[in-house]
Amino acid sequence: MRTMVQDAQAPLRSLYRETPAMAMVTDHARSCGSDPSDPFHSAVEPMDGCGVSVPIGVHRAVGGLHDAPTPGDMLCAALAACQDSAVRMVANRLGIEILDLEVRVTAQVDVRGALGMEADVPVGFQSMTCDVDLKVKEGTPSKLLESLRAAAQRCCVVQQTLHHPPPIQTRFTTRPLDSARTVTGPTKTALE
């Protein structure tokens, strides 16, 4: 018996085998804060143009109010959402009945790096933990559950991206009133 995921993916797998270039997709998001003078609040729009806006705040550990999800919270949310989706889809393909699923992601960062206080403290999370709490139908073979665990970790795009980060290019475009200039490349900022 074919599953929902198998039915949805079968034509895509066939297409990607015939035309690998069709498998390349682009995800995107944009910031859409309404008050550029507010250093502690903004918003992001995943899938820019979809009409969904998520408020973003700044963590109190770097001077913010922490009254909205921070960018770090959003990174944790992206990993939790991706791992959740991977578990659900792989379980469906394997015929495993999920009764309950929660994915909790925690991340630790030493903010002295972001504040530019200590040159030897890196900017960024020093550790992340992804806990998957899964309840399945009684009698599910342990070998099948091990296959689910391995495949769900391998198929989680966000987790694999964090394990093997791609190069990131940041472009700044400044727009004075009468012209625009783009500055590309790595930038370093000394924070006081």
Mean pLDDT across the stretch 36-44? 94
DSSP secondary structure code for residue 34 in this structure? S
Give the C-alpha separation, 91 to 98, whole Å: 7
- Is pLDDT above 60 for 68? yes
Q: Which residue has the higher pLDDT, 132 or 2?
A: 132
CA 137 to each of CA 69, 94, 97, 149: distance values in angstroms, whole numbers, following the listed order? 34, 13, 6, 16
Q: Is 99:137 a contact under the CB 8 Å cutoff? A: yes
Tokens of 26: 């682009």
Tokens of 43: 């918003």
Can you say how many angstroms the Cα of residue 116 is from the centroid of all Cα atoms in its chain? 25
Q: Report the number of secondary-structure helices (H) and strands (E) in the chain.
A: 4, 7
Q: Is 87:103 a contact under the CB 8 Å cutoff? A: yes
Q: Is 5:93 a contact under the CB 8 Å cutoff? A: yes
Give the C-alpha separation, 48 to 29, whole Å: 5
Please state the pTM of the whole predicted model: 0.87
- Is pLDDT above 60 for 108? yes
Count CB atoms within 10 A of the CB of residue 83. 24
CATH 3.30.300.20 domain extents, the chain = 70-164
Looking at residue 54, its pLDDT comes to 94
Give the C-alpha separation, 84 to 54, whole Å: 20
Mean pLDDT across the stretch 143-157? 97
CA 28 to each of CA 18, 23, 31, 46, 161: distance values in angstroms, whole numbers, following the listed order? 26, 16, 11, 6, 15
Q: What is the fold, at CATH topology level, of the domain defined by 70-164?
A: GMP Synthetase; Chain A, domain 3 (3.30.300)
Q: Which residue has the higher pLDDT, 184 or 30?
A: 30
- Residue appearing with tokens 């009468």: 178
Mean pLDDT across the stretch 10-15? 96
**What percent of the chain clears pLDDT 90, i.e. is strictly above it?**
84
Count CB atoms within 10 A of the CB of residue 56. 20
